[in-house]
Amino acid sequence: MSERRANRAYLSLGPNIKPEENLPAAVCELQAFGRVLAVSSVWESAPFAADATTDRATRPAGSNFLNAAVLLETDLSPEDLYDQAIAAIEQRLGRVRDPHDKNAPRTIDIDLSLFNHDVLEFAGRRVPDPEIVKRPFVAVPLAEMEPDYVHPTDGRRLADIALHCASNSGLRPRPDVRLEESE
């Protein structure tokens, strides 16, 4: 009989409302849904919104985001991880979704960026998250945790993706905000 292996969920986190409080709180809450194997450093990025006329990111006024990544070992499926963990944590931390502005300020945003080496679609979400190859605030924290992880559809290592999209990004480290791995 074969032994079932736990799943490896790579999560991207990003609050800009009380981020110094909400980011560590989210990491702490994730521990109820598995074992936190790794956490990235914390990175600061300016908010952005998509310009519908050009499909390019613009920089509106607003509080900067703190971004990080977490590697969670869990028995949950991707769907259950989203339904039972991510949605519940976002709700407990006061996340309010604005249907007219997906880039509105938020207390926490948790995205399932990678799941094992799977390629998935569920509930309107895609895994790997397409933002990995576009946004340094997603790519850099993930690459920091597992630089040699090969993106399942892009074929590049996370370190190479991060290097490519991080140049001139304005992303900066925030060593004053620390996240703890579980013991």
The one catalytic residue among 95, 97, 172, 176:
95
The one catalytic residue among 8, 109, 129, 135:
109
Is 125 a known active-site residue?
Answer: no
Number of residues assigned to the chain: 183
Q: Where are the beta strands (DSSP E) in the chain?
A: 7-13, 35-39, 43-45, 49-51, 56-58, 65-74, 110-115, 120-122, 125-127, 172-173
The one catalytic residue among 111, 125, 126, 157:
111
Q: Report whether 65 contacts 137 (CB < 8 A).
A: yes
Is 111 a known active-site residue?
Answer: yes
Is 95 a known active-site residue?
Answer: yes
Residues serving a catalytic function are 95, 106, 109, 111
